Structure 1
Amino acid sequence: MNDEELLKSAGLYGRDIVTGEEGYNLAALMLLGKDDVILDVAPTYVTDAIVRKVNADRYDDREIIKTNLVESYNQLLEFGRKNLPDKFFLEDTVNKSLRNTIVREMVSNTLMHREFTSSYTAKFVIEKDRMYVENANRATKEGFITVDNLEPNSKNPIIAVFFRNIGYADQLGSGVRKLFKYSKYYSGKDPQFVEDDVFRIIVPLDDTYSFDYGIENSDSKVIEINNADKMPINYLSAQQSLIIEFAKKKGQITSRQVETLLGVKQRRARIILGELVNMEILERQGSYKSTIYVLKNNCHSGPSEAF
């Protein structure tokens, strides 16, 4: 298909049954339009991305995004990646980014289902103990949405279908289920979905929580790496335990072997190895490309347990 045929098949080009005129509709403009044209048609359209962790009265970082939905999606995802930690999490044997999954669902929802004729400014806000998106909404009911009372209702079906077809969103309703599932792994708490004239998704944040350590809530014991030289072997993370078991079997381990073993990038592999060195469990030998890590003589550990 050529471009026009493609846009027609996506429902972005049609015929007004009242006037008989043909052309691109509002969904086409919001999805793919140029910034100046969007400003003419929807002058109040904007997404305000804000970080308030230190300066809660004003902001620590901010981006005002006025471009089309496809480009806004990518810019908001990058804003989330820049300002949120990407905690380690294994789903079966796959290293899954909880941060990217959660931000993707929040961003796609607020872009797809907002009321574009409203002057209310949509927001993506990251605070110390929570992050949230909010946007103007044509509410079908009021109150909290849960997995049990979920009744999927697409506010802008043409935009939602387009997002699904280009891989920016999944089947209607799956985003709610994903956020309830992965928010628990990311912060140990459930998200909130508030349906009203302003729709909100609120995801709790807790930098001290790590599902990998098995911490159940923010009041649980938090292990500080600064005091790691006093940390018992059975308090190691799953990643650290894998490294030690490998070093015990092979006699040594390198950063490249850690990359392969954990499925992480080189920088992350070196950070974890550095933690084990600081904990006086591993000893660094050699330099540059010939660097290896071996178990220290005074470290005799049995099978380690991920805490």
Structure 2
Amino acid sequence: MMISEQLKSIIRDGEGLTVEFKECRTQINRDVYETVCAFLNRNGGHIVLGVDDNGNITGIDADALPQIKKDLVTALNNPQIINPPLYILPETVNIEGKILLYLNIPESSQVHRCKGKIFDRNEDGDLDVTNHPDAVAHLYIRKQSSFSENRIYPYVRLEDLRTDLIQRVRKMVRAENPNHPWATMNDEELLSSARLYQHDYQTGKEGYTLAAILLLGKDEVIQSVLPHFKTDAILRRVNLDRYDDRDDIRTNLIESYDRLMAFVAKHLPDPFYLEKDQRISLRDHIFREVVTNMLIHREYINGFPAKFIIGTDQVVAENANRPHGHGRINPSNFTPYPKNPVIARFFKEIGRADELGSGVRNLYNYTRIYSGGADPQLLEGDIFKIIVPVTPQATPQATPQAENDKISALLEYCIEPRSREEIQEFMGLKDRKHFRLEILNPLIQEGKLFLTIPNKPNSPNQKYYSHLKDPNHV
């Protein structure tokens, strides 16, 4: 979601290669769609409605806002206006008491047309290059050479994809947005809207793409197309020469994500952490980003097998990459580049990925808490590598105030009598002995937790309740 301060900064910097302002006080300017097309064909960008060419905030009429938003969404999904169509929701932002609409247009892996014309972008604005064969050819070459996910397999049929996964996708997007267009589309319409079925106007090829096969293909189809495809999840703590546990994953990207996150849950701790009075999973926030990055930004044509290795003091994820630079990424000044925009957009629609760039910042923020102040490392090269430090003794909230917060949450949880297993799970602790000696027994001795069966402390039916609850009520 665009924060008003971020949008103010974009407006202050003015129009340029990736920024365009449109007034649109009571209706949409006709050239808005030309800019959308140009941004899709070039580097993506920001379109702000309710701002004039000089950067003055003029605002959108409140009465006209619902119709403008409806017209935008309808037009962007209409192949007669934008082809291939684009699913995107404009975001409403209030600045200085005025209403603006913000559109974040991604760089596309395809060449788009606006009302039959091809537009490109430079510092001076949108360019109609339809009648300039060299410029059009350059666009196609740049798109095809950049994104192997667009490789077309004309002999792949709908029956080679898993219809149960397509149905699952409908449920996932509906959970993110009950009005998502994919929820009511048939299979062919959904796949076309997701850009998983394409037509190459240079070669005449038409069909399902590598992205479609990776996301939704049957296992045997994936292995036929990419025999080297796999993600190797490895636990290596005791047997350093081989492994202690392993999952050799050779399935679609949706279920690959499920299996990698299950491997994380099986072998990595999830310490108790409160954020704004709500318990969140630091582990899942961190490794959701790591796993997603492995799956959506990999160069799949490269035969290098992706690896996810859990060691004694760190987790290392590495995958083949088409680099936009070399060396360690600095989160304060890095520029994110889409490696597989179709796959990335698909993951975003089903709720498995954030806006490009935001996930990296979250990764840094949460890793510092999870790992006792240590930063992750993101290394860009032909092999992209993420290293997340994991310190066994790390306690994410080690300050006295944080400890008090944990205990307060536990006591609130135990207003109703709870078993030892329930309390331990609530605290995110696996070591039963540590839990009894360091947490449960001290709380009982301090008179903060009470036994429901005080005469039989070792009873299998024993439960514990806090001093917040009246013992006579038990």
| TM-score of the superposed pair, with normalisation by structure 2 | 0.52
Alignment partners' CA distance in 2, 1:119 and 1:263: 41
What's 2:384 paired with?
199
User: 2:397 aligns to what SS in structure 1?
Assistant: helix
Distance 1:266 1:274, change over 3 A: farther
Alignment partners' CA distance in 2, 1:116 and 1:134: 13
Pick 1 or 2: higher relative contact order, CA cutoff 8 A, min separation 6.
1
Alignment partners' CA distance in 2, 1:245 and 1:6: 46
Structure 1 residue 152 displacement after superposition: 0.6
1:69-97 per-position Cα deviation (integer Å, ceiling 9, x unaligned) = 11101111111111100111001111000
User: 1:56 aligns to what SS in structure 2?
Assistant: coil
Alignment partners' CA distance in 2, 1:176 and 1:214: 26
How do 1:102-141 residues align onto structure 2 when only pairs under 5 Å count?
A: 102-141=286-325
1:140-179 per-position Cα deviation (integer Å, ceiling 9, x unaligned) = 1101112122111011110000000001101001111011
Contact 2:270 2:281 in 1 (8 A): yes
After TM superposition, the structure 1 stretch with the greater mean CA deviation from structure 2, 274-283 or 140-149, is 274-283
Q: Which amino acid counterpart does residue 205 of structure 2 have in structure 1?
A: E
Q: Which amino acid counterpart does residue 44 of structure 1 have in structure 2?
A: H
Q: Which amino acid counterpart does residue 281 of structure 1 have in structure 2?
A: E
User: 2:426 aligns to what SS in structure 1?
Assistant: coil
Aligned residues between the structures:
271
Q: Which amino acid counterpart does residue 211 of structure 1 have in structure 2?
A: P
Contact 1:284 1:294 in 2 (8 A): no
Alignment partners' CA distance in 2, 1:197 and 1:37: 27
Alpha-carbon RMSD: 3.2
Alignment partners' CA distance in 2, 1:246 and 1:111: 37
Alignment partners' CA distance in 1, 2:351 and 2:255: 14
Match 1:63 to one of 213, 222, 247: 247
Structure 1 residue 110 displacement after superposition: 0.6
Distance 1:246 1:132, change over 3 A: closer
Structure 1 residue 254 displacement after superposition: 2.8
How do 1:69-108 residues align onto structure 2 when only pairs under 5 Å count?
A: 69-108=253-292
Q: Which amino acid counterpart does residue 255 of structure 1 have in structure 2?
A: R
Residue 264, structure 1, aligned to residue 420, structure 2: no
Structure 1 residue 212 displacement after superposition: 2.0
Distance 1:123 1:235, change over 3 A: closer
Distance 1:9 1:129, change over 3 A: same
User: 2:359 aligns to what SS in structure 1?
Assistant: helix
Structure 1 residue 238 displacement after superposition: 3.3
Alignment partners' CA distance in 1, 2:413 and 2:258: 39
User: 2:232 aligns to what SS in structure 1?
Assistant: strand
Contact 1:45 1:116 in 2 (8 A): yes
Match 2:358 to one of 174, 177, 196: 174
Q: Which amino acid counterpart does residue 264 of structure 1 have in structure 2?
A: F
Contact 1:259 1:266 in 2 (8 A): no
Structure 1 residue 240 displacement after superposition: 2.8
User: 1:64 aligns to what SS in structure 2?
Assistant: strand
Structure 1 residue 281 displacement after superposition: 3.1
Distance 1:212 1:14, change over 3 A: same
Distance 1:139 1:245, change over 3 A: closer
Residue 8, structure 1, aligned to residue 192, structure 2: yes
Residue 238, structure 1, aligned to residue 401, structure 2: no
Q: Which amino acid counterpart does residue 390 of structure 2 have in structure 1?
A: L
Distance 1:276 1:43, change over 3 A: closer
- Structure of larger gyration radius: 2
Residue 255, structure 1, aligned to residue 418, structure 2: yes
1:274-297 per-position Cα deviation (integer Å, ceiling 9, x unaligned) = 7444333355351566744578xx
Distance 1:118 1:266, change over 3 A: closer
Identity of aligned residues (%): 46
How do 1:47-62 residues align onto structure 2 when only pairs under 5 Å count?
A: 47-62=231-246
After TM superposition, the structure 1 stretch with the greater mean CA deviation from structure 2, 279-288 or 122-131, is 279-288
Distance 1:37 1:242, change over 3 A: closer
Q: Which amino acid counterpart does residue 407 of structure 2 have in structure 1?
A: Q
What's 1:281 paired with?
446
Alignment partners' CA distance in 2, 1:185 and 1:34: 39
Alignment partners' CA distance in 1, 2:429 and 2:417: 13
Alignment partners' CA distance in 1, 2:402 and 2:340: 49
Contact 2:286 2:366 in 1 (8 A): yes
Consecutive unaligned residues in structure 1, runs of 5 or more: 216-233, 296-307
Structure 1 residue 255 displacement after superposition: 1.9
